[in-house]
Amino acid sequence: MSDALAAVTALTGERAVAARPMTGAVYQVRLASGATVIAKHGPVTAEVAGLRWLADTVRVPEVLGADDEWLVLARVEEGEPTPRAAEEFGRQLAAMHAAGAAAFGQAPPGGPVDAWIGMAPMVNVPAASWPEWYAEYRVAPYLRRCADAGTLRAAEVAVVEQVIERLPDLAGPPEPPARLHGDLWQGNVLWSADGHVRLIDPAAHGGHRETDLAMLALFGCPLADRVLAAYQEVAPLADGWAGRIPLHQLFPLLVHTELFGRGYAGRTVAAARQALADPGGAFAQDAPTV
């Protein structure tokens, strides 16, 4: 606790007087002024760069201070999801994606090549082609680690390898690199008391916009239909996008399989099999709305 107090005091210029742990190396810290801030300890350089990159187009918590080991954020008072906030979020998400990136795999300005998605390492290496980049830097590394650890069995690995081989045919129409949050599951979407949405914990990089939307659908999202409708009004998605949801979910599912074990193996292999099916076929009819 003393380290968190010292770090917050040094980075904000205000005296920190009390701290309590939240999850992992995250602390809620009270300042002498009575204000409360959030302090995170660990490799935070990529997150800081991502927050600043995304802040051009979406709402994120204010960065109050940061160094190589600590990040201090303004605390977001959480509220209930509302239709108005959902629609604003959809429009801002479309604007964030449209802001673009220099290349697929491009790190945010000032961000490192070696970054993180949750507790898993993630490499940001630029490439010109999304299918090639997605295969080499998002699917294959996590597949290898799951295979080496025995978390995915040989027959399961073979199914995912088929996806890698067929990625150019499965990827859909070419799109320019989008500016991605990169870890856009519902836990990183804060519905704040002031009636807006704020995004936290980015694994930001240049990628395919359908990846963010597929991840948002992975564990559900409040008022998903409102979010998607507002998004589509600003930036309509390419034909067949719903059938490509499992292709884009394959990356986060592999990450979950690596981090949390075989409890995610079945869902990972199911996504791979669905990705190999006709993108406009039966899965698209039952695809979850984002």
Catalytic sites, residue numbers = 183
Which residues are bridge partners to 116 per DSSP?
121
State the Cα–Cα distance between residues 139 and 159, nearest whole angstrom.
Answer: 12
Exposed (0-12), middle (13-18) or buried (19+): which is 151, by Cβ within 10 Å? buried
Sign of CA dihedral 229, 235, 239, 242: negative
Residue showing tokens 């995912």? 160
E-strand ranges in the chain read 16-21, 26-31, 36-41, 63-66, 70-74, 114-117, 120-123, 178-180, 189-191, 197-199, 205-207
* Number of CB atoms found within 10 A of residue 123's CB: 15
State the Cα–Cα distance between residues 165 and 289, nearest whole angstrom.
Answer: 28
State the Cα–Cα distance between residues 275 and 277, nearest whole angstrom.
Answer: 5
